[in-house]
Each structure stands twice: as C-alpha cells, then as structure tokens.
Structure 1
Amino acid sequence: MIQLENIKGNFKRDKALNAEHPIRVLIVKEASGLLCMNSGDYVLSPGRVFFIPEEGIIRLEGEVISAYWLSFSSLLYSEFLLQHRDVQSRNLFMALSFKDLNSMQAQKAFSLLEQLKREIIAKRDISYLAQYLSLLLGFSAVLNAELMDLSVDELQQVLRFRAILEQYFKIERSTEFYASGMGMSSRKLNSFLKKAFAKNLPDLLFARLIREAEELLIHTDYSMSMIAEILGFEQANSFTSSFKRSKGVSAVEFRKIN
C-alpha cells in the first residue's frame, strides 16, 4: 500500500520511473536536471516536492544526488482527503503540481521521510501509516500553515496525538486521558494543541466525531440512534442537535443530499 525509496544516479528520459502504487510524490534533496511529463518539463530544484497524478509517465533527465520516491494506494490517500477537505487539497494530485520548501522546511520533510521509511520497514499498521502519510502530505504541500513552524519533535508529537485520537475518539473525552497518552500534563497538552492545531481538545474531538458521522451517514444505512451509540453520544437527540449545529443541516437532510 505504500513504498518509499531513496533514488540517485544519472537518468535519461528514455526510461520511466517505476512505482508500486498509483499516487506518487518525488521529493528532491539534491539534483540537477528535469522531471519530464507529457505536460512539460520541470526543473529538479533542491527542496522541490512534486505531486504526481495517477495518470502520466514520469521520466527524469539529469543527475539525482539524493531524492525520495514515494508511492501509495488510494486507500491510504483517503485519510488525507478526510482530514483536508479544502479545494486545494482535493486538487493536489489532479494534475502535476509542486511546492518549493525553504531549507529549514525541507530538512524537516527529509527527517519525516526517513522516519516514515523506518515505520514501513517495521510493518506498522495501516491506520498509523495513513496518519503519517496525511501529516507528511499536509506539511510538504504547505496546507497546514501552523505545522510549518513546528520542530521535527513537535511534528512527531502531532502524529502521536493523531494516532491516539484516531483510536479513542469514540469512547474517550477527557483531557487527562489524552494528556496521559502524550506523557504531558493537561495544561501542557492544551498549550501544544493550540500551537499545533490552533484548536483545543474539545474542538478537535468534536470535529473528528462529526467527520465520522458524515462517513456513517453517507456509507451506511444505520439509524440515528445507532450512529449516536457508535460515536459515544448518550442520546440520539444529543447527536442530531450537535450535527445540525456543526453542519447547518440535520443529519437526515445531510444523508439525503449526499
């Protein structure tokens, strides 16, 4: 479902880059030359991140001293789309696009990639890798402005929090629980979440619950009572009122229009 390799060497455009999975990213550390597609040729600049659509043959021409070639499945990509619902995110892989990271941002991206490689080798579970990939794409595409100022250690803490949230958001609501999982005091956790997400824990929990509710409403025929129970609401009325307050339409109306 995901493959990450370091590539280097001299490349000629008569040979295409192979990828195990359909969605591809090339992150350039040091290179000179071109990335070649039918749509045109693009300079291989240090710190440039290419987001490559499913269709299209990729060829390189020039010398690559160090770069990362990442490919992954649509299943892993779906977690990124669930967390990033804006137009820019949805269009990221519609056609070839790229972002240029400054030297500090690029170093952070390279550190994340090396850690991701270790996680892949360690055969971490799919949900964890999906969270890691979503964090990496959000950072390298500069979609989350608040992430850009975080250190590598803080980015790893973001990943840890997301993993804990993903596992327990349906059943745990207390700040103390998540603070314990993060190895922080409640006060330090709240301060960190404000810095990393510009939100507090209740807001993050609520947003995750509503996102899950949307998925259940669209992809299942569960009753409102059943969805409320799955998401840990004590009563169906509490769920439906919370959903309408968040989305502006009732859960029933949301299901009909989606």
Structure 2
Amino acid sequence: MIQLEDIKGRFKRDKAIHAEYPIRVLIIKEASGLLCMNSGDYVLAPGRVFFIPEEGIIRLEGEITSAYWLSFSTLLYSEFLLQHTDAQSRNLFMTLSFKDLNSMQAKKAFSLLEQLKREILAKRDVSYLAQYLSLLLGFSAVLNAELMDLSVDELQQVLRFRAILEQYFKTERSTEFYAAGMGMSSRRLNAFLKKAFTKNLPDLLFARLIREAEELLIHTDYSVSMIAEILGFEQSNSFASSFKRSKGVSAIEFRKTY
C-alpha cells in the first residue's frame, strides 16, 4: 500500500521511473537536472516536492545525489482527502505540481520521511500509516500553515494525537483521557492543540464525529438512531441536532443528497 525508497545516480530520460503504487511524490534533497513529463520539463531543485498525477509517465534526466521516491495506494490517500476538503488539496495530484520548501521546512520533511521509512519497516497498521501520510502530504504541500512552524518533535506529537483520536473518538470525550494518552497535563494538551490545529479538543472531536457520520450516512444503510449509537451519542435527538447545526441540513436530507 505504500513504498518509500531513496533514489540516487545518473538518469537519462529514455527510461521511465517505476512506481509500485499509482500516486507518487518525488522529494529532492540534492540533485541537478530535470523531471520530464509530457507537460514539460521541471528543474530538480533542492527542497522541491513534486506531486505526480496517476497517469503521468515520469522520466528523469541529470544526477540525483539524494532524493525520496514515495508511492502509495488510493486507500491510504483517502484519509488525506477526508482531512483536507478544500479545492487546493483535492487538486493536488490532478496535474503535476510542486512546492518549494525552505531549508528549515525541507529538513523537517526529510526527518518525517526517515521516520516514515522506519514505520513502514515496522509494518505499522494501515490506519496509522494513513494518518502519517496525511500529515506528511499536508506539511510538504504547505496546506496546513499552522504545521509549518512546528518542530519535528511537535509534528510527531500531532501524529500521536491523530492516532489516539482516530482510535477513541467514538467512545472517549474527556480532555483528561487524551492528555494521559499524550503524556501531558490537560492544560498543556489544550495549549498544544491550539498551536497545532488552532482548535480545542471538543471542536476536534466534534469535527471527527461529524466526518464519520457523513461516511456512515453515505456508505451504509444504518438508521440515524443507529449511527448516533455507534458514535457514542446517548440520545439520537442530540446527534440529529448536532449534525444539522454543523451541516445546515438534517441527517436524512444529507443522505438523500448523496
């Protein structure tokens, strides 16, 4: 579902670069030359991150001293799309695009990639890798402005929080629970979430619950009351009013629309 490898050497454009999975990212650490596609040739600049569409054939020309070649399945990519619903994020891989990271941003991205390699080797579960990939793409594409000023350790804390939230959002609501999971006091956790997400824990929990409700309404035949129970609402009326307040339409109307 995901493959990450270091690439280096001298390349000629007469040979296409193979990828194990359809969605691909090339992250340049040090190189000179060109990335060649039907749409044109693009300079292999240090700190440049290429987001490559599924249908494009990639050829390189020049010398790569150090770069990362990342490919992954649409299943892993779906978590990124669920977390990033704006047009810029959804169009990230529609045509070839790239972002240029400054030296500090690039250093953080390389650290995240090295850690991702270790996570892949450790055979972490799919949900964790999907969370990691979403964080990496959001950072590398400069889609989450609040992430850019975080240290590598703080970015790892963001990943840890997302993993805990993903596992327990249906059953746990208290700040104390998530603070304990993060090894922080409740006060420190709130301060960290505000810095990393510009939101507090109740807002993040609510957004995750509503996102899950949307998925259940679209992809299952569960009744509204059953969905409320799955998501840990004590009363279906509470869920129904919360959903309508968030989406502007009732859960039933939302289901009919999709």
What's the TM-score bracket when you normalise by the shorter of the two chains? over 0.9
SS of 1:252's equivalent in the other structure is helix
**Structure 2 CA distance, aligned partners of 1:254 and 1:100?**
39
Matched, 1:18 2:18: yes
Q: Which residue in 2 is equivalent to 1:122?
A: 122
- Summarize the alignment of residues 117-196 of structure 1 with structure 2, pairs less than 5 Å apart: 117-196=117-196
Once residues 256 and 90 of structure 1 are traced to their aligned partners in structure 2, the CA distance between those partners, rounded to angstroms, is 24
Name the TM-score, length of structure 2 as normaliser: 1.00
Matched, 1:68 2:68: yes
Paired residues for 1:222-233 under 5 Å: 222-233=222-233
Aligned residues: 258
Flag as ranges the 4+ runs of structure 1 deviating above 6 A: none
Letter in 2 for 1:250: S
**How many angstroms apart in 1 are the aligned matches of 2:30 and 2:138?**
22
CA-to-partner distance for each residue in 1:109-167, whole Å, 9 max, x for gaps? 00000000000001000000000000000000000000000000000000000000000
Deviation track 1:93-115 (CA, whole Å, cap 9, x = no partner) reads 00000000000000000000000
**Which runs of 5 or more residues in structure 2 are unaligned?**
none
In the TM superposition, what is the alpha-carbon distance from 1:84 to its structure 2 partner?
Answer: 0.3
Cα distance per residue 1:166-205 (max 9 Å; x no partner): 0000000000000000000000000000000000000000
Q: CA RMSD in A?
A: 0.3
Percent of paired sites with the same residue = 90
Determine the structure 1 residue equivalent to 2:237: 237
2:99 aligns to what? 99
Distance in 2 (CA, whole Å) between partners of 1:141 and 1:37 is 20
Report what 1:217 is aligned to: 217
Could you tell me which residue of structure 1 aligns to residue 38 of structure 2?
38
Shift of 1:56: 1.1
TM-score normalised over the length of structure 1: 1.00
Report whether the alignment pairs 1:111 with 2:111.
yes
Residues 41-52 of structure 1: matches in 2 within 5 Å?
41-52=41-52
Unaligned runs of 5+ in 1: none
- 1:14-33 deviation digits (Å, cap 9, x = unpaired): 01111000000000000000
The aligned amino acid for 1:29 is: K
How much does 1:227 deviate?
Answer: 0.1
